[in-house]
Structure 1
Amino acid sequence: MSHPSLIRTGFDADSTADDVVAGLDLVGLRAVVTGATSGLGRETARALASVGTEVTLAVRNTADGASVADDIAASTGNRAVHAAHLELADLATVARFADSWRGPLHLLINNAGVMRPSLGRTPQGWESQFATNHLGHFALALGLHDALAAGANQRGAARIVAVTSGAHMYSPVVFDDIHFTRRTYDPQLAYGQSKTANSLFAVEATRRWTADGIVANAVNPGGVSTGLQRDFTQDMKDHLDRLEAAGVFAYKTVGQGAATTLVAATAPEFAHTGGHYLDDGNEAATVPDDVELAGNSHAVKRWARDGAAARRLWEVSLDLVREC
């Protein structure tokens, strides 16, 4: 099926982070990348630094973060790479990070994420995957809004990139029981719900903040073997193997996985437009909520782009983070 209105770029599934930033000069831009000590976050930070961006690695382990910052600085020749503490499941650290930020911000890359095989809860009683993957990033974006608006005023636009997943297809945001207080816990559904939330955040942040020069887009990096899978059970690993065997997805390198994030962050096609879901370097088609994952792994379900759900999620999230 053809979707002529979808935003297309010159990139695809084989493109790498270096391909996307080749020829760019981003000196003067400032970026925050969460979860940047390994995997996609590290590669995203490295690629941005390689073309002159000042990059702050927002990380749980500041010793690891400082080491990675030094490595990136050495490999790129860009000394403006820093590490700062951020624990997304602890909103006090999110607030401290945002409060300590000085000056404009041009790129916020919400890359960090967890995938847990068993039920975990924050001190507030929130389900840990939703709390980390969505609520922490939501609070971070709120806290950095004024810095992003200043960056937009300086450069004409500021961008937020929300790293989601094809796993959003497993679950909408279940507003009646977001934190699994009544239904049986299913880690796959919990993770899928959090990834749907990432996409809905991009939709509503763009609606609310476009007038401030801020746009947000969601990206699916595809199947990449990273630290995210460190806590997988054997059943979860077997499930991924079955999906790969069925052709639902093919594993990418870390460089290929980070490419779509870099498209959303730097490509001119997405400089002033948001609320999109990107896959393999291009905007993905929206499909009905009842489609099967097989054959549609590069699409986005309607429930992850629904404006009413996005507005409801924003208000629910606002109420939750304001309680802390």
Structure 2
Amino acid sequence: MSRFTTPFGYESTAAEVISGVDLSGRRAVVTGGASGIGVETVRALAGAGAEVTLAVRNTAAGERVAAEIIESTGNNHVFVAPIELADPASVRAFVDSWTGPLHILVNNAGVMAEPLNRTQQGWEHQFATNHLGHFGLSLGLHDALAAAGDARVVSVSSSAHLQSDVHLEDLHFEHRPYEPWAAYGQSKTANILFAVEAAKRWAADGIVTNALMPGGIRTALQRHVPEEMQAGWAQYRWKTVEQGAATSVLLAASPLIQGVTGRYFEDNQEALPNVAGERNGVAPYALDPESATRLWDVSEKLLTQV
């Protein structure tokens, strides 16, 4: 399978990768659409004519963002719905409220490097939010995606996946010391493995699934990162939020991606294999088909127990 490339790159913006694309009549859901790159993802999709629902924890913030995007794009089909990804009941409620086809699902929301926090089920919170919540949401919306005929599911991962494979024998740090970045990395690897397995399972439904690294963007996602660590990032080449949303929007809406599935992208290109010591590229374990199948089965089992 040859590497997939596009004319876009590191500095491309969401508006640039979707320029000329007409999404009229298409429906999208963006989790975490009220902050960070989620806002710009919503703006780009709405600007191209899609109906977009912001699936968010803070609905008041969501309503403010939706109003601003309606004003800036002239598209009044921008809606807000509540979801708490770490709570399976909340995810089910969102799914139950959805009617009709769904053409685009952007699994964008996330938490990063937070202190140890467990859900009511005892799940490690980063894994519960970043992976299990989006896994449950995607499965719950499968029929709506299939009804669209040519739907796309986009999972926002991270280069932090290079920090950890998925530890199926101890997903929730019950038997090993908790480390915030290892937990975050594990959840981001899970996002890629989900795309790999969903691409295989859902191909017959016409559903394309890919994952991506958006790049380094200064957002509220870094709120749990210690100040001294952030100070060490001073020389890092940061993207704007408009650039950070570009790869998500490319995978969600560009005709270039038609039929491209089960892959991991960064800077609007399919990522190269990671080179040891480098902070880009994709780890081989994140694309391992056997690991992807095992994670899917374990994730399904966890969600059926609640």
Q: TM-score, normalised by structure 2?
A: 0.97
Match of 1:31 among 28, 31, 34: 28
1:305 aligns with 2:287: yes
For 1:1-324, list aligned pairs within 5 A: 5-152=2-149, 157-238=150-231, 241=233, 245=235, 250-287=237-274, 291-292=276-277, 294=278, 297-324=279-306
Report the CA distance between 1:269 and its aligned residue: 2.8
User: What is the CA–CA distance in structure 1 between the aligned matches of 2:23 and 2:114, rounded to whole Å?
Assistant: 39
Q: Which moved more, 1:267-276 or 1:159-168?
A: 267-276
- The C-alpha deviation readout for 1:205-256, integer Å capped at 9, x for no partner, is 11000101111100100100011011222344245x1xx64xxx52100000
User: What is the CA–CA distance in structure 2 between the aligned matches of 1:271 and 1:209, rounded to whole Å?
Assistant: 15
Give the 3-state SS of the residue equivalent to 2:202 in structure 1. helix
Matched-pair identity in % = 55
User: What is the CA–CA distance in structure 2 between the aligned matches of 1:142 and 1:235, rounded to whole Å?
Assistant: 40
**Residue type matched to 1:144 in 2?**
L
User: What is the CA–CA distance in structure 1 between the aligned matches of 2:97 and 2:273, rounded to whole Å?
Assistant: 39
User: What is the CA–CA distance in structure 2 between the aligned matches of 1:286 and 1:205, rounded to whole Å?
Assistant: 21
Aligned 8 A contact 2:21 2:254 in 1: no
Aligned 8 A contact 1:62 1:85 in 2: yes
User: What is the CA–CA distance in structure 2 between the aligned matches of 1:235 and 1:10, rounded to whole Å?
Assistant: 37
Aligned 8 A contact 2:274 2:280 in 1: no
**Please, which runs of 5 or more residues in structure 1 have no aligned partner?**
none
Give the 3-state SS of the residue equivalent to 1:287 in structure 2. coil
Segments of 4+ moved more than 3 angstroms: none
Aligned residues: CA RMSD: 1.3
**Residue type matched to 2:28 in 1?**
A
Give the 3-state SS of the residue equivalent to 2:135 in structure 1. helix
User: What is the CA–CA distance in structure 2 between the aligned matches of 1:200 and 1:145, rounded to whole Å?
Assistant: 17
Give the 3-state SS of the residue equivalent to 2:245 in structure 1. helix
Report the CA distance between 1:63 and its aligned residue: 1.4
- The C-alpha deviation readout for 1:114-133, integer Å capped at 9, x for no partner, is 01431000000000000000
**Residue type matched to 1:218 in 2?**
A
